[in-house]
Amino acid sequence: MATPRTLQFTTAIRIRLTHLSGALIVAVWLVATLLVAETQAADPVPVTLEPSVRSQAWIYNDQFSDEFNSAEVDLAKWNIDSADFGVWSWEPENVSQKNGSMHLTMAQQTHQRGKQELAYTSGMARMDKTITYGYFEARVKGCSRYPGASPAFWLYSIGPNNRYQAADGETVAYSEIDVIELQQSEYDFETKTHFPVTRIDCNLHTTLLRDGKREWVRPNNFPDICKNHFDAPWDPREDYHVYGAENTKEWIVWYIDGNEVARKPNLYWHLPMHVTLSLGLRYPFVKYADGERLPVLEKTTDVGFPTNMSVDYVRVWQLKESNVDRESPKKTASDWTKDEYVAKEKANWKKNGWNWNQDKVEANFLEVDANGDGLASGSERQAWFARKIAEKDAPKP
């Protein structure tokens, strides 16, 4: 699509060509064409006013960026048919592109998922490729329905084999960076009311492996590590705004309309993650009980639905040294991947006549993989077996 600058430039060239003729016209036109192509091909730069960001040598990464100028979603880049989680269902027909934006739609649609009755469907677009460090930016307009739906721009890791050994010794099994969650209307325990539509959340989530079990580290129970917010002087439903986050090995920094609004030390967010856009269900249609999210079916309504979150673009930049994500661990002959470990254990259980329990074996693998690199090395297996024998022989209290 031609930009105003390009149109002005080509118009000026055409005016000047009327005073020339022959070969000179051809020469001038060729030069003009090259200049226009260069103008059109110029990579975008991050929308930020912070000199510390603008001064860095960012490289625009087209693989993780999308201007949404086509009539159809780029399915080679975006997965719009993700596995369901939460108390609503993701449906590919709820993701569309029109007028230079991607639109994610939430609709009131009562349906059955397994044995559970649910009342809403929505849209999510997630990039299949993963990335860890960089500057992530999207221009987003919130949805009209409030409260009840939360537009989000975020990154998260997938896969049980993803592990990272943090500097404090913790083994990280999940990384999630919420660049923004808009319009969540979460409960304010101080005022005993829900936060207004202008509250923008910029949070972190992770799970740590402790004694073979996953423990969540979330904004509400670890606010110093995970929790940020920005109280906007405008309503995010009314217009597009630019939301960004920079993830480095040392810091995670959030930006809104070019201004820094929050930062946290990067303790645990070093796993490969998927760039994601989604429109999630929130209060009053969702409640929490014993840490589990449940639907509030008695509150179901079609008032305000369908509602749309709109995204003008997603752009990603990386510094030269971060263009290659974390290297995978180098595997030796004595190292077993999770699949190899499970296969060998299955053969061993069959040989001994034991009833096969894959969940237990996979849990054992997480314990064996002490350094969290996704491999059960020979020394790790020996240490694990020695520990189990010692536990078995230890005197009972």
Whether residue 349 sits in one domain with residue 217 = no
Please indicate, yes or no, if residue 46 is contained in any of the structural domains. Answer: no
CA angle 18, 23, 27 (to 5 degrees): 80
Please indicate, yes or no, if residue 327 is contained in any of the structural domains. Answer: no
Note the pLDDT of residue 20.
45
Whether residue 353 sits in one domain with residue 315 = no
Please indicate, yes or no, if residue 279 is contained in any of the structural domains. Answer: yes
Note the pLDDT of residue 7.
36
Whether residue 212 sits in one domain with residue 63 = yes
CATH classification at residue 119? 2.60.120.200
Domain span at 247: 51-322
Note the pLDDT of residue 206.
97
Whether 176 is catalytic: yes
Q: How far is CA 274 from CA 44, 79, 127, 147, 161, in A?
A: 21, 10, 6, 27, 15
- Among 137, 170, 176, 345, the active-site one is 176
Please indicate, yes or no, if residue 289 is contained in any of the structural domains. Answer: yes
Please indicate, yes or no, if residue 328 is contained in any of the structural domains. Answer: no
Note the pLDDT of residue 26.
44
Distance CA 309, CA 105 (A): 7
> Mean pLDDT of residues grouped by 10 in the chain (397 residues)?
39 41 47 44 83 84 97 97 94 98 99 96 97 97 98 92 89 97 94 96 97 92 97 98 97 97 97 98 94 93 99 96 52 78 88 86 77 71 73 53
Q: Which residues pair with 229 in a beta bridge?
A: 201
Note the pLDDT of residue 395.
52
Bond into 147 cis (ω within 30): yes
Is the separation of the CB atoms in 189 and 177 below 8 Å? Answer: no
Report which of 17, 127, 2, 119 is spatially closest to residue 61, judged by C-alpha positions: 127
Note the pLDDT of residue 283.
97
Q: Which residues contact 299 (CB under 8 A, 6 or more apart)?
A: 284, 285
Whether residue 285 sits in one domain with residue 179 = yes
Is the separation of the CB atoms in 137 and 243 below 8 Å? Answer: yes
Whether residue 130 sits in one domain with residue 101 = yes
Please indicate, yes or no, if residue 374 is contained in any of the structural domains. Answer: yes
The domain boundary residue, chosen from 322, 345, 361: 322
Whether residue 270 sits in one domain with residue 314 = yes
Is the separation of the CB atoms in 337 and 374 below 8 Å? Answer: yes
Whether residue 137 sits in one domain with residue 60 = yes
Whether residue 178 sits in one domain with residue 60 = yes
Burial per residue of 244-254, b for 16 or more beta-carbon CB atoms within 10 angstroms, e otherwise: bbbbeeeebbb
Whether residue 300 sits in one domain with residue 371 = no
Domain count, the chain: 3
- Among 91, 137, 170, 178, the active-site one is 178
Whether residue 294 sits in one domain with residue 200 = yes
Whether residue 181 sits in one domain with residue 113 = yes
Whether residue 153 sits in one domain with residue 24 = no
Q: What is the pTM of this model?
A: 0.74
The domain boundary residue, chosen from 271, 288, 322: 322
The domain boundary residue, chosen from 281, 299, 322: 322
Please indicate, yes or no, if residue 330 is contained in any of the structural domains. Answer: no
- Among 66, 170, 181, 369, the active-site one is 181
Please indicate, yes or no, if residue 127 is contained in any of the structural domains. Answer: yes
